[in-house]
Amino acid sequence: MVVATQVNPIRMEKIREVDIPVIDLSCSRSKVAKLIVKACEEYGFFKVINHGVSHHITKEMEDESFEFFDKPLPEKELVGSANPFGYGSKNIGLSGDTGELEYLLLPTNQNAIAQTSKFSYAWASLTKTHKGYHLSKALSIKNFNNNSQCRLTLWVTMCVVSSYVKSVRELACEILELIAEGLGVPHSLFSHFVRHFDSDSLLRLNHYPPVTHSFHHGNIGFGEHSDPQIITLLRSNDAPGLQISLRNGLWLPVSPDPHAFCVNIGDILQAMTNGRFVSVRHRAMANLLPNQSRLSMVFFGAPPPEATIACPPQLLKRNKPIYKTFTWSEYKSHTYAHRLGETRLDHFKIT
């Protein structure tokens, strides 16, 4: 829970004559709720500061991530190739998109984890170990069975990932509850999806390696898209790269701030607000500064697979619904079968 301390909850960051809202979550709840709703309507994007996620947890997560990406390729490939979970390099998703990055995509709920790769199985067991049980399971993972140093390292990593996911998920839910308050709908209308045991939320670690001389500035690291989920919380190191698309078609660079989280609205929240919120299109440029690695740690807050997505009557007012009712599972299947750059929500428009 964020405690109110300051009077002015917002500062505007001027980039190319456009102000990106930077919202101070330690300010008065009702003011913050209104500012967040305004930012979601205007940009579908804002930054939050004084968010309550411990810098120590974030730093540990960043160190672990760099340590992973610094490993030789065969070791990284041991976690299994992204299908969709696991390690990926240059390919994005399963539809043929490419980018100048490598990444690790992880599920965050125990059920999904248990059904995926060995690595994910390890993630599940070790996360539970963190809470004091299932140690025996953790120690019997095939790949790591014969190497106690390796098991110990993995255990530490899992604890770090687990703490990070827990803190960022809480922040995502807090922001969704502020949004609900600002919109005048039930407090947990959006957050209950992300808090749900079967929530399909993801953690993605994107590593954009340093620029080499054979490489041109201005290369796309992660192509233009909107995130399919409800809400995205992105934290990056101090390297630039993220850009958001404005309504006038211009690309706006977002200045990096390791102490802030970038928040963007996903397609599901655009659908649930009947188009009042914008699921912002964004992209990441491959490293813009020489010799600098960029690392983004991205939490995607998603509903459980069977959740029904529809705009509630309070938000429809007298307007007709723009989108059909669908389940997250239906939306995800559609999304994953299409290319990154497509406006996938359009498929669910009522014609």
Ligand X SMILES: O=C(O)CCC(=O)C(=O)O
Binding-site ranges for ligand X (CB under 6 A) = 204, 206, 222, 227, 234, 236, 241-242, 282, 284, 296, 298
CA dist 171 and 78 (Å) reads 32
Residue 286 touches which of Fe ion, ligand L4NPZUNZ, ligand X, none (CB < 5 to 8 A by kind)? none
CA dist 90 and 73 (Å) reads 13
CA dist 297 and 138 (Å) reads 25
Binding residue for ligand L4NPZUNZ (CB under 6 A) from 52, 80, 84, 209?
84
Residue 241 touches which of ligand X, Fe ion, ligand L4NPZUNZ, none (CB < 5 to 8 A by kind)? ligand X
DSSP 14-26: EETTEEEEEEETT
- What secondary structure letter does DSSP report for 274? T
Residue 242 touches which of Fe ion, ligand L4NPZUNZ, ligand X, none (CB < 5 to 8 A by kind)? ligand X
Binding residue for ligand L4NPZUNZ (CB under 6 A) from 242, 286, 340, 345?
340
168 to 227, contacts with ligand L4NPZUNZ by CB under 6 A?
202, 204, 225, 227
Residue 102 in contact with ligand L4NPZUNZ, rule: CB under 6 A = no
Given 195, 294, 318, 344, the catalytic residue: 294
- Whether 204 sits among the annotated catalytic residues: the reply is no
CA quadruple 191, 54, 266, 194: dihedral positive or negative? negative
CA dist 329 and 217 (Å) reads 38
Quick one: tokens of 309?
């997505």
46 to 65, contacts with Fe ion by CB under 5 A?
none
| Rg (alpha carbons) of the chain, rounded to whole number | 20
One-letter identity of residue 137 = K
CA dist 112 and 104 (Å) reads 16
Residue 227 in contact with Fe ion, rule: CB under 5 A = yes
Q: Which stretch binds Fe ion (CB under 5 A): 37-45, 108-116, 221-229, 310-318?
A: 221-229
Residue 133 touches which of Fe ion, ligand X, ligand L4NPZUNZ, none (CB < 5 to 8 A by kind)? none
Angle subtended at Cα 14 by Cα 9 and Cα 19, rounded to the nearest 5 degrees:
60
Calculate the alpha carbon distances from 323 to 42, 272, 317 in Å: 20, 9, 15
Q: Which of 55, 68, 29, 18 is nearest to 258 (CA)?
A: 55
Q: How far is the CB of 48 from Fe ion (least distance, A)?
A: 17
Q: How far is the CB of 205 from Fe ion (least distance, A)?
A: 13
Residue 267 in contact with Fe ion, rule: CB under 5 A = no
CB 317 within 8 A of CB 334: no
Q: How far is the CB of 7 from ligand X (least distance, A)?
A: 32
Q: How far is the CB of 227 from Fe ion (least distance, A)?
A: 4
Residue 270 touches which of ligand L4NPZUNZ, ligand X, Fe ion, none (CB < 5 to 8 A by kind)? none
Please state, as a whole number, how many other Cβ atoms lie within 10 Å of the Cβ of residue 335. 22
Q: How far is CA 162 from the centre of its chain?
A: 15
Return the SS3 of 154: helix
Residues in CB range of 4: below 8 A, 6 or more apart? 26, 27, 28, 29
- The neighbouring-strand residues paired with 23 are 10, 48
Query: How many residues in the shown chain lie near ligand L4NPZUNZ by CB under 6 A?
Result: 17
Using a 10 angstrom Cβ sphere, with 0-12 exposed, 13-18 middle and 19 or more buried, the burial of residue 324 is middle
When the beta carbons of 130 and 282 are compared against Fe ion, the nearer one is: 282
Residue 97 touches which of Fe ion, ligand L4NPZUNZ, ligand X, none (CB < 5 to 8 A by kind)? ligand L4NPZUNZ
When the beta carbons of 182 and 303 are compared against ligand L4NPZUNZ, the nearer one is: 303
Q: How far is the CB of 4 from ligand X (least distance, A)?
A: 30
Q: Which residues bind Fe ion (CB under 5 A)?
A: 227
Q: Which residues bind ligand L4NPZUNZ (CB under 6 A)?
A: 84, 92-93, 95, 97, 105, 202, 204, 225, 227-228, 300, 335-336, 338-340
- Return the active site residues: 294
